[in-house]
Structure 1
Amino acid sequence: MKVVVNLKAYPCNPVEVATAAREVSDESGVAIAVAPQAAHLQRVADTGVETWAQHVSAVEHGSHTGSTLAEAAADAGATGTLLNHSERRLKLADIDAALDAAERADLETCVCANDPDQIGAVAALGPDAVAVEPPELIGTGTPVSKADPDIVTDAVAAAESVDDSVPVYCGAGISTGEDLTAAQDLGAEGVLLASGVAKADDPKAALEDLVAPL
């Protein structure tokens, strides 16, 4: 299982979370990546944890003020990126262009989508992974694996029908080891989570609880 911790714009200490993630990953053998704000990419990467950008823009070098250039994210230490998160939605053409940008910079990609139909559409674009995240469950503490497990199984089937080499991750409401194993049982090969770690009083303890069943 792959675990991607999205720090969003939460008022947490990104280095503290990244250090905890690296330690738990080393101790458990579970792959854990941390996606901080773009300005914190290098500080997080310097901890030795697998570091992802929260987004890269569908642009090349040029006049693109305010964009997150994929090459700049890679230069700062990122090895992967999320795309099309429900809080940073993109048109399909822009997802495609952002995937091209990530490929130029040799960044691993995970494209988020709201439902199984969208999972099928974005899987056809050739990302390294896709993630199903019903937006109404994000930040609620109620995982989709409990609220509507068919969304996960249908998302896995949708991705497989397009390209069976694209793994499906499960997001929205993930916070415990039980949530992680439930997602795994439904066919997911990874999870995305945010507040369960970024808002935790003890990020390392939260991550240890998350991966304990594995």
Structure 2
Amino acid sequence: MFVLVNLKAYPCDPVAVATAAHEVSESTGVRIAIAPQAAHLSAVADTGVETWVQHVSPVEHGSHTGSTLAEAAADAGAVGALLNHSENRLKLADLDASLDAAERVDFETIVCANDPDQIAAAAALGPDAVAVEPPELIGTGTPVSKADPDIVRDAVDAAAAVDASVDVLCGAGISTGEDLASAQDLGAEGVLLASGVAKADDPRAALEDLVDPVA
């Protein structure tokens, strides 16, 4: 199982969370990655943890003030890109161009989507993985695997029908080992979470609990 922790813009210590994630990954053998703010990519990557950028812009080198250039993220130590999160939706053409930008620097990519129909459309664009995340459950602590497990099952089937090589992750409300185990039972290859770790009083303990069922 792959665990991607999105730190969003939460007021956590990204280096402390990244250090904990790296240590838990090393001790358990579970693949754990951290997606910090772009300004923190280098510091997070320096901990040794697998580092992802929260977004790459659909641009190349040029006059693009305020953009997150894929090449800059790669130079800072990122190896993957999270795209189309519900808090940063992209138009289809821009999503396609962001995937092209990520491909320029050999990033692994995950595209978020709300439901199985959107998962199918996202999978058709050729990312490495898609993540099903009903927006109404994000940050609630209620995992989609419990609230509506059929969404996860149907998302897995929808992606497989388009491109069997595209993995499916489960997001929204994931915070415990039970949540991760449920996602795995429903066919997900990993989980995407944020507040369950980024807002935890003890991020290392939260991560240890999360990966315990698969460690």
Normalising by structure 2, we get a TM-score of 0.99
Point out where structure 1 has 5 or more consecutive residues left out of the alignment: none
Q: Would you say 1:21 and 2:21 are equivalent positions? A: yes
- Per-residue CA deviation, residues 149-202 of structure 1 (Å, 9 max, x unaligned), is 000000000000000010000000000000000000000000000000000000
- In the TM superposition, residue 106 of structure 1 has moved relative to its aligned partner by 1.1
CA distance in structure 2 between the aligned counterparts of 1:58 and 1:119, rounded to whole angstroms: 20
CA distance in structure 1 between the aligned counterparts of 2:125 and 2:146, rounded to whole angstroms: 29
Secondary structure of the residue aligned to 1:62 is: coil
Cross-structure match for 1:171: 171
Q: Which runs of 4 or more aligned residues in structure 1 lie more than 4 Å from their structure 2 counterparts after TM superposition?
A: none
Letter in 1 for 2:89: R
- In the TM superposition, residue 30 of structure 1 has moved relative to its aligned partner by 0.4
- Per-residue CA deviation, residues 94-121 of structure 1 (Å, 9 max, x unaligned), is 1110000000011110000000000000
Cross-structure match for 1:124: 124
Letter in 1 for 2:128: D
- Counterparts in 2 of 1:1-214, with a 5 A limit? 1-214=1-214
- Per-residue CA deviation, residues 107-138 of structure 1 (Å, 9 max, x unaligned), is 11000000000000010000010000000000
> Alignment length, in residue pairs?
214
CA distance in structure 2 between the aligned counterparts of 1:17 and 1:8, rounded to whole angstroms: 13
Secondary structure of the residue aligned to 1:10 is: coil
- Per-residue CA deviation, residues 73-110 of structure 1 (Å, 9 max, x unaligned), is 00000000100000000011111100000000111100
Secondary structure of the residue aligned to 1:146 is: helix
How much is the aligned-residue C-alpha RMSD, in angstroms?
0.3
CA distance in structure 1 between the aligned counterparts of 2:213 and 2:9, rounded to whole angstroms: 29
CA distance in structure 2 between the aligned counterparts of 1:132 and 1:149, rounded to whole angstroms: 11
